[in-house]
Amino acid sequence: MSLLSARSIVCGCLLHLCFGLLSSQYCVPRKTVSYLNDLKLFREDGISHYSTMLIREDLGVLLLGAREAIYALDINNISNKKAEVNWRVTEEKQRECTYKGKSAEVECRNYIRTLHNINDTTVYVCGTNAFSPLCDYLTFANGELTLKKRLEEGKGKCPFDPFQRYSSLMVGNDLYSATSINFLGSEPVVLRSSNLALRTEFKSSWLSEPNFVYMDFVGESVDSPDGDDDKVYLFFSENAMEYDFYSKVVVSRVARVCKGDMGGQRTLQRKWTSFLKARLDCSFPKPSLPPIVQDVFLLKHKDWRKSVFYAVFTPQSGLSQMSAVCAYTVSSIRDLFNEGKFKTSVAVETSHVKWVMYTSEVPVPRPGACINNVARNLRINRSLELPDKTLQFIRDRPLMDEAVRPMTGAPLLLKKGALLTRIVVDSVSALDGKKYNVMFIGTENGFIQKAVNFDGEMFIIEEIQVHENPNPITTLRLSSSKGQLYAGSEFGVVQMPVSNCSRSESCEDCVLSRDPYCAWDSSSARCSSVSSLSPEAAIQSLKEGNVTLCPPPDPGAVVNFALVPGNTIQLPCQLHSNLACLHWRFSDQPVRSNNKYYIYSGGLLILNASESDAGLYACDSVEQINSRTYNRTVVVYHLRLSPDPEVAVSPTPGTTATKSSVQTLNPAVTVTVPGPEGEEPPLPENQSDTNRVSRLEVAVSLLTLLCLSLIGVLLWIWCRGHWKCFKLTKSSKSAEGRKHTQNRTSEIKLLGPESEKPCSANNNHCAIDFKGNGEYHFPPRANISSLSGLGYIHDESEI
Ligand SMILES: *[C@@H]1O[C@H](CO)[C@@H](O)[C@H](O)[C@H]1NC(C)=O
Ligand SMILES: *[C@@H]1O[C@H](CO)[C@@H](O)[C@H](O)[C@H]1NC(C)=O
Ligand SMILES: *[C@@H]1O[C@H](CO)[C@@H](O)[C@H](O)[C@H]1NC(C)=O
Ligand SMILES: *[C@@H]1O[C@H](CO)[C@@H](O)[C@H](O)[C@H]1NC(C)=O
Ligand SMILES: *[C@@H]1O[C@H](CO)[C@@H](O)[C@H](O)[C@H]1NC(C)=O
Ligand SMILES: *[C@@H]1O[C@H](CO)[C@@H](O)[C@H](O)[C@H]1NC(C)=O
Ligand SMILES: *[C@@H]1O[C@H](CO)[C@@H](O)[C@H](O)[C@H]1NC(C)=O
Ligand SMILES: *[C@@H]1O[C@H](CO)[C@@H](O)[C@H](O)[C@H]1NC(C)=O
């Protein structure tokens, strides 16, 4: 029976919440803020794929590139459009594109993919232009956006395919781009478009079916004792060459080039002499195939050595709904490239090549190094003067032997549920004067997770639903100075403040939220932004979540409630935190769910109440913070027998409980559904519906049944959208995930194989330790090839 199954899911849900996952290593967001329609939104009819953003604080605008349109939006309120310009494909181009077999209405359009600053007035813009990329110059002046019609070839700067991942970066007047330079998308390059254009070799040892994710610049020449050069770092995933594996395995990489690279004279002419790459390590708790990098953010520090790359990873096999964030310091990546060992290929059989650590002598100057003091002492001032020996070495061995390890040796965040897609990080000054790095991570289903890592403890402050429909977040930008986030999806862009402290109404909730942006202001008795507070009168406890300093909570009036024998009574109790569990006490004895009591996440039902049920009911919220338990009484009800039930009270739970209304009920009416707090968003019921005392003249049993099934169904719906119940709803969730992944028109394409071969059906098949670099112990071949349908043999000699 459906009611029964719904009820069992509800019970399972609560059981999980309270006993299963709190102790596990995966993070539960403390709060869930569902879509509230109070965020500033920008979208226009007929326009889609709001995928490219450029923040221009100097001009007070957010430049937004979409399909065939570019907008200048007020940076303080993106709903306010200041200017727009359209850039459509010509009919001729569209026709050419359709002849080549692409769809006229989807692929043969102009998707704006590139927006880069050139100078104070001018922006460089590129679009896919019906599979024939094109670039132009754009100005924003006198409230108008103008395309200068100084068209330039976009091949290599911008992808042909509107949905292919790519990355680019403007450094001075040089455009660095990582994309495919052909129609088929099969010839990847890392390109610098400048007076002296450079690119990568067309060799699979350099790039093998890569997916480019992110690029950034690090000014390493500043204060460099060895006279080093500035660098451009690139993050991507590609087919592994280092694993001796009979099927395709994808790995995540970081690569870098030197800004001053000019290519070689004879060897590597017009090619990078400084292209080095290494594997990125981010270990998931269970042994698995290497995870795939989806997005990266560089948190810049005054001292570039302390700048940190934050990277989001998702699993390679489509089965596990788990993501991670790992962070890497610039200095650790730099050290690996500057001092690490190289990998080299050796032929083991006629057609088989293995990549192993290179142990012989390395030529001088060191292959792949920028021109530094060592080179200059050898009278080498430019890469053009590098000896052939150095250049040949690097041409054949661009891969480092070791992998880059994450900062703390482990992920900063692990999360089950909807996959993570994009990340930005803000460095926030808290009340204690220290800086905390707050991560904002977009998900596949339109949420933003706001998380911190307190000395190894993962903590998700809250998750906020920013898109009404579960669309993947494809672009995420942060304006730290404005305290605003901009999240783009296929269907629109939303603007969200980095914090909204007013969501916490009590001191306890404010402190337990452990949000570096927020503290309790004792003078105004409000949870307020730290930047607006004087430290003396404010309470914040980030690492401990210690509420001792909060004023003792107002015990709250005891709420009177009428008991009508034979009826079902609902006592609501709203929790402020997903990490908390409800505990009910009746006359100080714990209440358990049984055939009399029914505990659900929003309160307690007393079925078929009898006279003996009169008395005091207390709802305690018990929250685990940093392995300590925090217990507080949310509300106390006094159930009074009312043989002449003229009076029922609609209580408002919480510390400010007041008698809100007194209503006369028809004696036959049994279920009183009192109103919950107005401001509390996370709980699942349709609250506007329940926000009054029902006056229904329906038979007792019918109503009870209706109510129960309604609550059950609502909870079940809530559970489906809620990762906490992943065990119960895993299959439906991953099915949803796949739908997104394979949707061609969606901007985000999660990397990784499409095949859904059951890996976890027998996890032993996947139990390969990809940590470490030397020896790998692979399962027998038969098992491996069963992992992936693709019988791919990676073989350098094919090149
Ligand atoms: C943002 O701009 C829109 C459109 O101009 C306007 O309707 C809205 O009131 C503005 N919101 C705020 C908070 O200023
Ligand atoms: C900005 O760059 C554009 C394109 O290179 C150029 O035409 C313009 O003169 C530059 N403007 C300034 C103020 O430098
Ligand atoms: C390299 O530069 C130094 C000073 O910048 C100069 O003295 C030297 O002659 C140059 N060497 C070559 C080979 O150009
Ligand atoms: C903060 O949250 C409150 C309560 O949900 C809401 O009323 C308010 O509009 C929000 N403020 C901002 C700036 O979003
Ligand atoms: C909480 O803070 C109070 C007052 O500062 C202090 O006495 C107490 O030891 C703290 N408790 C914990 C568990 O840190
Ligand atoms: C409700 O309880 C009374 C006794 O307390 C019992 O006689 C009656 O059958 C119960 N009704 C239902 C619907 O369970
Ligand atoms: C919470 O506190 C109340 C009263 O202080 C106590 O009766 C109850 O047992 C506590 N609950 C838990 C789970 O510790
Ligand atoms: C809640 O109920 C109201 C009134 O029946 C309805 O208009 C609204 O769509 C419902 N909201 C949800 C989320 O179901």
Q: Which of 564, 597, 608 to mutate to test the pocket of ligand 6 (most atoms within 8 A of CB)?
A: 608
Dihedral (Cα; 224, 230, 234, 239), 10-degree rounding: -70
2 Cβ closer than 6 Å to some ligand 2 atom: no
User: Is pLDDT of 150 > 60?
Assistant: yes
DSSP H/E element including 597: strand 597-600
- For 379-394, the pLDDT digits (tens) are 999 999 999 999 999 9
Task: Say which ligand is closest to the CA of 42.
Answer: 1
Rounded Cα distance between 226 and 223, Å, is 9
CA 547 to ligand 5: nearest atom: 1
User: Is pLDDT of 429 > 70?
Assistant: yes
Q: Which of 585, 623, 629 to mutate to test the pocket of ligand 7 (most atoms within 8 A of CB)?
A: 585
User: Is pLDDT of 674 > 80?
Assistant: no
pLDDT at 189: 96
Look at residues 295, 316, 321, 299 and name the one whose alpha carbon lies nearest to residue 308.
299
CA 689 to ligand 8: nearest atom: 2
pLDDT at 257: 97
pLDDT at 567: 86
- For 532-544, the pLDDT digits (tens) are 888 888 999 999 8
Ligand 3 binding pocket (C-beta < 6 A) is 379, 381
Ligand 6 binding pocket (C-beta < 6 A) is 566, 608, 610, 701
pLDDT at 245: 67
Task: Say which ligand is closest to the CA of 498.
Answer: 4
User: Is pLDDT of 19 > 60?
Assistant: no
- For 721-730, the pLDDT digits (tens) are 343 323 222 3
- For 89-137, the pLDDT digits (tens) are 999 999 999 999 999 899 999 999 999 999 999 999 999 999 999 999 9
Task: Say which ligand is closest to the CA of 39.
Answer: 4
Rounded Cα distance between 616 and 350, Å, is 83
CA 549 to ligand 5: nearest atom: 4
From ligand 7's centre to the CA of 458, what distance in Å?
27
- Looking at per-residue pLDDT, the higher value among 216 and 21 belongs to 216
Rounded Cα distance between 735 and 395, Å, is 43
Domain boundaries, the chain: 501-549, 559-677
pLDDT at 536: 83
Task: Say which ligand is closest to the CA of 629.
Answer: 7
Contact present, 715 and 601 (Cβ < 8 Å): yes
Rounded mean pLDDT of the chain? 79
CATH number of 559-677: 2.60.40.10
Section 382-407 average pLDDT: 96
- For 227-239, the pLDDT digits (tens) are 999 999 999 999 9
From ligand 5's centre to the CA of 237, what distance in Å?
46
Q: Whose CA is nearest to atom 7 of ligand 6?
A: 566
- For 599-629, the pLDDT digits (tens) are 888 889 999 888 889 999 999 999 888 778 8
DSSP H/E element including 451: strand 447-454
CA 546 to ligand 5: nearest atom: 1
Contact present, 325 and 423 (Cβ < 8 Å): yes
Highest mean pLDDT pick, 198-207, 557-566, 697-706, 757-766:
198-207
159 to 128, 522, 742: CA distances (angstroms): 6, 54, 19
From ligand 4's centre to the CA of 578, what distance in Å?
20
Task: Say which ligand is closest to the CA of 540.
Answer: 5
pLDDT at 761: 24
Name the pLDDT band for 643 (thresholds 50, 70, 90). Answer: low
User: Is pLDDT of 748 > 60?
Assistant: no
Q: Which of 122, 125, 149 to mutate to test the pocket of ligand 2 (most atoms within 8 A of CB)?
A: 122
Section 257-269 average pLDDT: 95
CATH number of 501-549: 3.30.1680.10
Q: Whose CA is nearest to atom 9 of ligand 4?
A: 38
- Looking at per-residue pLDDT, the higher value among 676 and 63 belongs to 63
Residues contacting residue 202 through CB under 8 Å, at least 6 positions apart: 187, 189
79 Cβ closer than 6 Å to some ligand 1 atom: yes
pLDDT at 27: 83
Please give the share of the chain, as a percent, with pLDDT higher than 70.
77
Q: Whose CA is nearest to atom 4 of ligand 4?
A: 503
620 Cβ closer than 6 Å to some ligand 7 atom: yes
User: Is pLDDT of 262 > 60?
Assistant: yes
pLDDT at 564: 85
Two structure tokens written together for 551 = 């004023």
Range scoring the smallest mean pLDDT among 36-45, 347-356, 441-450: 347-356
Helices (H), ranges, 561-622: none
User: Is pLDDT of 426 > 90?
Assistant: yes
From ligand 2's centre to the CA of 127, what distance in Å?
21
pLDDT at 45: 94
pLDDT at 717: 47
CA 120 to ligand 2: nearest atom: 13
From ligand 8's centre to the CA of 691, what distance in Å?
11
Q: Whose CA is nearest to atom 12 of ligand 4?
A: 500
User: Is pLDDT of 333 > 90?
Assistant: yes
Name the pLDDT band for 581 (thresholds 50, 70, 90). Answer: confident
pLDDT at 319: 75
